[in-house]
Amino acid sequence: MTPREIVQMSLAFAYPPRIPFGMGSAGFPSDFRGVHHDPAPNRVQQPWTQRDGYWDMIDMWGNTWRRLESITKGEVYKGVIQDSWDLLDTYEFPILDRAELFEKAAAEVKQYHAEGYYVLGGMSWTFDTARYMRRMEVFLRDCAEEPDRVSYLLNRIADVYERVIERYADIGVDGISTGEDWGTQDRLLVSPPMFRRLFKPVFARLCGVAKSRGLSIHFHSCGFVRDVIGDWIEVGIDSFKFDQPELHGIDWLAKHYGGKMHIWSPVDIQTTLQTRDHARIEAAAREYIEKLALPFGGGVIAGYYGSNEAIGLTPEYQETASRAFMKYGDPALWTGRPASRTEKA
């Protein structure tokens, strides 16, 4: 069975012979490969450049970013339309729907499929893009004070991303990989009613396009997002890339959404990995699988956080987690497996 087939079975909760692996770092396996379109030809970008005491860059949308260290993501220092909504009247949105921007990605899709991998097209999403364009604190105020303008901006951005999804579908990807951080440590960045009023319609629009083309959707968010997980599942998101799954509670996730979602996750980077306790780390990986995957025929994709340095750890702790995912993710028996599927798996 190919890696692609294992992912497909898991996403269908069809009892694959093991959980999917989405680690792909430090020599650990991944059943996935990612492709990306080329940059917009009508926008000029500046890569990260070291200045006197900081780094800066200009992204495809025209926002200026800054960071203090080369290992951090940074944050928008100057949004492209931060100073006035009137700037949107003359703003030139990135052109991302030209077929030639996807030619390299199309060749990679063919190669990766021939090798048996599940292929995801990488892209951004609407909330992040809008808040970068207006800058975070300005945009959050906009949501309360000028919701009509926010909705207009979100849909203009969705116009761009809808065409990206269509192009990815045209070249044969299996799914979309995207995300944006929606949570603090204990709540959403906006209230659940505000999310449902302003943002959920755009989620539904873009996810609807992906689903109409047969694509799965894999969505990252940091922070506490319990209040909208159900909304995200409703609009069609298949897996959630949670770096802090224990923030929501493994038992809570299993009780409310077991068999309805996958988590694509390392062992929790804020809690369990930080203990530096190898036995506890292994036990956590096993717990995720036994509670979120085994009873439902799927539900966990083993992950690996991309930068050990950024979370203040040496690689040995994530290596323990990865070995545990591989050990316990290859079960001899699935709880509740239908008898008719036993021989097939």
Q: Each residue of 22-77: pLDDT tens digit?
A: 999 889 999 999 999 999 999 999 999 999 999 999 999 999 999 998 878 899 99
pLDDT of residue 111: 98
Q: Is residue 14 part of a domain?
A: yes
Q: Is residue 86 part of a domain?
A: no
Q: Is residue 87 part of a domain?
A: no
* Separation of alpha carbons 261 and 247, rounded Å: 17
- Mark whether 67 and 139 lie in a shared domain: no
Mean pLDDT, range 83-100, rounded to an integer = 97
- Mark whether 158 and 48 lie in a shared domain: no
pLDDT of residue 70: 82
- From 292, 300, 283, select the one nearest 252 (Cα to Cα): 292
Q: How far is CA 27 from the centre of its chain?
A: 22
- Mark whether 120 and 231 lie in a shared domain: yes
Provide the pLDDT confidence category of residue 107 given band limits of 50, 70 and 90. very high
pLDDT at position 334 over 80: no
pLDDT of residue 340: 39
- Mark whether 113 and 177 lie in a shared domain: yes
- Mark whether 182 and 313 lie in a shared domain: yes
Range of the domain at 69: 44-81
Q: Is residue 221 part of a domain?
A: yes
Domain boundary among 27, 54, 81: 81
pLDDT of residue 73: 86
Total number of domains in the chain? 2
Q: Is residue 110 part of a domain?
A: yes
What tens digit of pLDDT does each residue of 237-261 get?
A: 999 999 999 999 999 999 999 999 9
- Mark whether 145 and 160 lie in a shared domain: yes
pLDDT of residue 240: 98
What does DSSP say about strands 118-122 and 32-35: parallel, antiparallel, or unpaired? parallel
Domain boundary among 52, 81, 110: 81
pLDDT at position 180 over 50: yes
pLDDT at position 331 over 80: no
pLDDT of residue 110: 98
Mean pLDDT, range 308-324, rounded to an integer = 96
Mean pLDDT, range 121-142, rounded to an integer = 98
Tokens of 116: 């048996």
- Mark whether 182 and 289 lie in a shared domain: yes
- Mark whether 55 and 152 lie in a shared domain: no
- Mark whether 73 and 216 lie in a shared domain: no
Q: Is residue 59 part of a domain?
A: yes
Torsion, Cα 266 268 274 275, to 10 degrees, reads: -110
- Mark whether 146 and 76 lie in a shared domain: no
Mean of pLDDT over the chain: 95
pLDDT at position 342 over 50: no
Asked if 218 and 212 count as a contact pair (C-beta separation under 8 A), the reply is no
- Of residues 342 and 178, more confidently modeled: 178
Residue with tokens 């943002």: 199
pLDDT of residue 197: 98
Burial 97-131 (b: 16+ CB within 10 A, else e): beeebbeebbebbeebbeeebbbbbbbbbbbbbbb
- The DSSP bridge partners found for residue 22 are 30, 303
pLDDT of residue 333: 59
* Separation of alpha carbons 330 and 214, rounded Å: 28
- Mark whether 73 and 103 lie in a shared domain: no
pLDDT at position 116 over 90: yes
What tens digit of pLDDT does each residue of 202-223 get?
A: 999 999 999 999 999 999 999 9
Domain boundary among 56, 81, 106: 81
Write out the chain in H/E/C secondary structure. CCHHHHHHHHHCCCCCCCCCEECCCCCCCECEEEECCCCCCCCCCEEEEECCCCEEEECCCCCEEEECCCCCCCEEEECCCCCCHHHHHCCCCCCCCCHHHHHHHHHHHHHHHHCCCEEEEECCCHHHHHHHHHCHHHHHHHHHHCHHHHHHHHHHHHHHHHHHHHHHHHHCCCEEEEECCCECCCCECCCHHHHHHHHHHHHHHHHHHHHHCCCEEEEECCCCCHHHHHHHHHHCCCEEECCCHHHCCHHHHHHHHCCCCEEEECCCCCCCHHHCCHHHHHHHHHHHHHHHCCCCCCCEEEECCCCCHHHCCCCHHHHHHHHHHHHHCCCCCCCCCCHHHHCCC
Which CATH number goes with the domain that contains 277? Answer: 3.20.20.210
- Mark whether 20 and 53 lie in a shared domain: no
Q: Is residue 212 part of a domain?
A: yes
pLDDT of residue 343: 41
Q: Is residue 294 part of a domain?
A: yes
